[in-house]
Structure formats: structure tokens, C-alpha cells
Structure 1
Amino acid sequence: MKVTISVEGSEFSLDVEPQESVLRIKQKIEHILRIPVASQALSIWGWELIDGLDMEDYSTIDESTKIVLTIRKPAPIPLPPANSKNRITVKFSARKIVLEVDQTETVRSLKEKIHIVDGTPIKRMALFFAGRELDEEFRYLTAYGISDNAEIVVFLKSAVSAADQLPVSRTPLLNVMVQTASCLLNSAMIPLDMIRDSSTVSELRQFLLKEKILPPDDYIFIHKQRIMRESCSLRWHGVENGDFLYVFKGTVSQGKV
């Protein structure tokens, strides 16, 4: 079928199949308009379409439907002031060193500087400031609130991976948040401690119903804009500790191929 794509005052037609995902439609638009997928937001009647859903999941979409394309413009990243120096203390378990860093320093460049001065392997460093890990390598130190006289704590990761250290029989636990959709359920954000990453979506559903966290009904679980499969584990879906799962009322209809 053909749908109409409206973008910034102009329109064009696009051939789509019922089984095509929203993500695939964005890829087609990228090929035509050279607009990166990450910069696209597609919506109908003010509701944004989810990448992991297919066209047939939106039963109201037909050839008379107009899909609005909004181009997301990335927010500019402010640069810290140039030619400004800070003295920071880098603290190890049994020693400290003092370094002078520019305000244009990134987490990565700080790790490189520590390696040059102290010899600590970069891959083994985990840097923390005020209890928060500096986990974005190319983010400015100032973006983490680091200024003059700040203290950075260095933890050394084991040379053996954490997965190698775990007993084979041990199953990691997760602490995930379940966010219900405000338009379909009573809006709530529910932390779920002690959920195993080997649990399937079906087992998670039964747990939520048993604990009366959700009322009896049919639900769709979504993780990172993709519908989750009932028989697959949270680990299979890539769910990690601290992730958000979204719950919507409804079922997934399978179209005929």
C-alpha cells in the first residue's frame, strides 16, 4: 500500500508492506531524503510510532493515512572554557597522585594521562567521582561536575572477566523498572528486584499478575522500542540491570504472509 509522508510542509508517497517495521520505513526515508534514522520521528495524530512495531500493528494505518515526519535536531554540546586548568586528586586504594588537567579534558584523555604518570592499564581503570562512574569515555570532565580540587577514585577491574569468575550454575539477578502506559493503564513506575535474567517474558508477566502489580488482562511488553517475545528470556532481549520495560494493554496480531 502507499502512505503519505509529510515533512516540513511537503509530502511524498511511500510504498510500505503491512509486515514492514517502523524502523524499516525510517530506513527507506533515509535512503530517499538522506535523513539519518536517529534523527527521524514518525507519528500519526500526535502519537509517535515505535521502531519495533510493524505497520499491521497499527490497525488504523491505510492508504489514506498521513504519517508526519519530524526531524530531530541534536542539541549542541557546549564546550567548556578553553585554557583553564584544574588540579585534581586521583586516589587509588593505597596511594594518591595529583594531576593538572584542562577543562577540555575528557574521561578518556584523563585515563591516558593516569596511564602515562602511573602506568595503570587503561582497560583496567574504572573512574568514579562523587559515587558516580565516569562511564562515557569521550564526555568532558566538566559535564560530570568535576572542577578544581575534585577527587577521582580509581577502581581496578580484574584481569579476568566477571563472566569467567561466576560459577556456571549461577544466574545473574536484575533490578529493572516496569513503566505502565499512562494512556492505557494507571501510570506507574514499578521497580522489580531479584528478577533473574534467565526469566522469560511470560514468567515476568505471571509474576506481575501474582503480585497484583498489574490487573488481569492482555499486555505487550516493550524494551528499547521493540516488542518482547513471550517465550524468550530477558537476557535474550538484552535487558540489563537498571533498564526500563514498558507495558501496554493489547495483543500482537500476526499478519498472514
Structure 2
Amino acid sequence: MKITIVMKGCQFSMEVGPQEPILEIKRKIQQFLGIPIDSQTLTVCDWELVDGLDLADYPLISEGTKMHLSTPQSPPPEFPQTTTMKITVKFSSRKIEIDVDKTDTVRSLKEKIHIVDATPIKRMTLFFRGSEMGDDFRSLSEYGMEESSEVVVFLKNMNRAMADPPSRRLAVVVQTASSLMNAARIPVEMNDTSRVEELRRLLVERRIVPVDEYIFIHKQRIMREDCSLRWHGVENGDYLYVFKGTVSRGGF
């Protein structure tokens, strides 16, 4: 039967047996989300599920049951919905607003500006509170950025051919959940500038997954459909995990 695992900011479906041990369900969650078994608490209707029992020991669990997953950290780091913020990016003659995460790096911010405004990344020099944000690998929180902060963009003059590195071809492995294709591993090749939504369309067109809503996870973090594989830091040989479900910025 199929049940739904629910966390704050995320939910996905999972195929389980009617007598499957609770511990086995936690093992599957650890495999796909990277959350250690001993850090997981599963509840149904506010009743905590005990590791030593099976689903058959809980008559209230049936097809379509929603099983809530919580961890000692709430929300867990891989679903940082409480750290998102809106900032203003100021150019010499215009301003734009961008949604970012405090854990985003300066490089990630430049990628987002490029996606929204088409400004070449290599032309950007970013300033915050009068100081240059010169380290692409530092996070926005390390620079003290907060909600409604303003980042100023100065543009360097350079040859257009040098503005941004060319796209690279990536070979990745898409790992599907057991509820989709019995935990199949599918090799896929795409450009690193391809967006996650393009990857989803490719899987549907090749009939690897049926038409539906999906969550993609890379290195224990949910991927954003409107951002590129390069933006997510995907490299050759990386695994991308796919679950059926949707991402919500609010609770369930």
C-alpha cells in the first residue's frame, strides 16, 4: 500500500507492505534523505510509532495514511524554509528583488541575479554595506545579510565571449523511490546549465516516471525547479534522488 511521509516543507509518497516493520520504513527514509534512523520520530494521529512493531500493529494505518516525520532539529537543515529572505539587488539604473537563503553563497547569489536579470556572472562585483563581497564561497549569513538587505552590483567591462563559462555535459544518476520504479537507477546526461524542471520533463518524456509532481534531492537538499544543475553544484557522477510529491513553503 502507499503512505505519505510528511515533513515541514516537504511530503512524498512511499510504497510499504501491510506488515512492514517501522524500523524498515525509517531505513528507507535514511537511504533517500540521509536522516539517521535514531534521529527520526514517526507519528500517526499524534501516536508515535515504535521501532519494534510492524504496520500491522497499528490498525489506523491504511492506504493513503499520512505519517509525520520529525527530527531533533526542526526544521532539518536540508529543508531551510525559515532561512529564506527577500533582498534588493541594485544596479546603476534599476533595482530588482530576489528571494535567497541565508545559506546561499555569494556565487549562488550571482547565479540567481544571472537567472533573473541575464547579467553575465563574470561582469558582477557585489558590494554590501560598502564592502566588496569578494569571496564566492562565503555564505550570505557570514556577511550579515538579513531580510530586505540591499546588495549593490557594479559591472566590469569585458569581452562578451569571456562573460560566463560555457556549459558542460554532465553524466548523473537519477535514483527513483520504490513507489515509482522499485528504486531504479537511471543514468542521464544533461548540460549543467539545464534547469531541474527540464530534467523532470526529460524523465517524463522518456517514460521513466509518469506525469506527476516530483521532488528532486541532491546531497540531502531539495532542488529548486527553476535553477540549473550548475547552480545546485551538481557534478559528474552525482546522484539525484526523486520522490513523488510537492514542496510547500508553509506547514502541513
The TM-score, its normalising length taken from structure 1, stands at 0.37
Larger Rg: 1
Higher relative contact order (CA 8 A, sep 6+): 2
